[in-house]
Structure 1
Amino acid sequence: MKPTLQLYRNAVSGHCHRVELFLSLLGLPFDSIDVDLAAKAHQLPAFLAMNPLGQVPVLRDGDVTLADSNAILVYLEAQYAPGQWLPRDPVGAARVQRWMSLAAGPLAFGPAAARVVQLFKLPTDPKDAIARAEGLLQFMEAELGRTPFLVGERATLADVAHYAYVARAPEGLVSLQPYPAVRAWLARIEALPGFVPMLKLPIGLAA
């Protein structure tokens, strides 16, 4: 039976990987449709009809079309695993939302941005992005020194949202060696049933 879920993605995007990872953790079959960003496929009318901002990922689930990776995570959790990855109690929900906000802020403008500079060889000084990445990692290290996952004893959307860009931080010249609790957390994510790794860059591009 053909899956109803279709994921429009780019393989090097951590935003796309967080959705791929969650789909796999949920055991949901889906069609993966690569969007050639270099050829500006994301700016074609057919793609802009799905997401006027011209960004991946985009998820189609039957008649539902959604953009924004964090929004897609919330939808998938509510639709297919309600209460399992996003607490329904006010404090638990707020703690996850805090991390989702961090994923859209310091994570995106820290390790993710530093990685983009190296990946696309941009003529940009990555110093500020690396500093933001290190600040986030220091905060994560302290939090993960108290609990195995970002919001407590089990994985939530907070962990799914952060995994890819933290795991690939060295590709942006951000070392994970000073953060043993973060590295142990990455290993716990990778041990979850259904885990799928993010594409690794060629060794020549990696830090």
Structure 2
Amino acid sequence: MCAQWHYSKASLQAPPMDFSFRGISFMQDLLTEEPRPGLKPIKLSQEGRLLTQAVWLNNNTLSDLTDFTATMGKLLEYPEDISWIDLSFNDLSTIDPVLTTYYNLRNLNLHGNSIQQLSEVDKLAVLPHLRSLTLHGNPIEEEKGYRSYVLSTLPHLKSFDFSGVTKLDRSTANVWRRMNIKPKVVRRRLNDY
């Protein structure tokens, strides 16, 4: 346990595993491609896997995240500790549910993709530590109430689209939600009365 804590603590300050601008179309491509060298090298575990919590896959041609979990498991020593994923400027049309399995995710960049449905944001509500999210440059940005919808769905965000979330933003989002989102009706059976 102590060794894992040491590695996890060290990986907090580690540079990202950076596969940006690599022409990546499929997650398996990461296994044959070299990450971009950073100013500081990423430390490796005894098993030869990277000790980092940040994954940069921006500016590629990913249209889905098939095999994301398996690929991260092969490249990272502690994939469950991923706290930052940058998937900006790809070809993603949905928010893949695999992203919701990374419980420690704090920063998620999805700007510059092709996400069509504002309701895709609902999937991210299960991430308790998510504090920073970018979605601008997706078709959903044109939806009426875009910012209020996202902030009412994800009330723990501190930063959205590279802008700090203010008390006024939160208040506006709450009012917007009350006015625009109908509560789900709970039906009871006659036997319940």
* TM-score, normalising length: structure 2: 0.29
Write 1 or 2 for the structure with the bigger share of helix.
1
TM-score, with structure 1 as normaliser:
0.27
Query: Which of the pair has the greater relative contact order for Cα pairs under 8 Å at 6+ separation?
Result: 1
> Max radius of gyration: which structure?
2
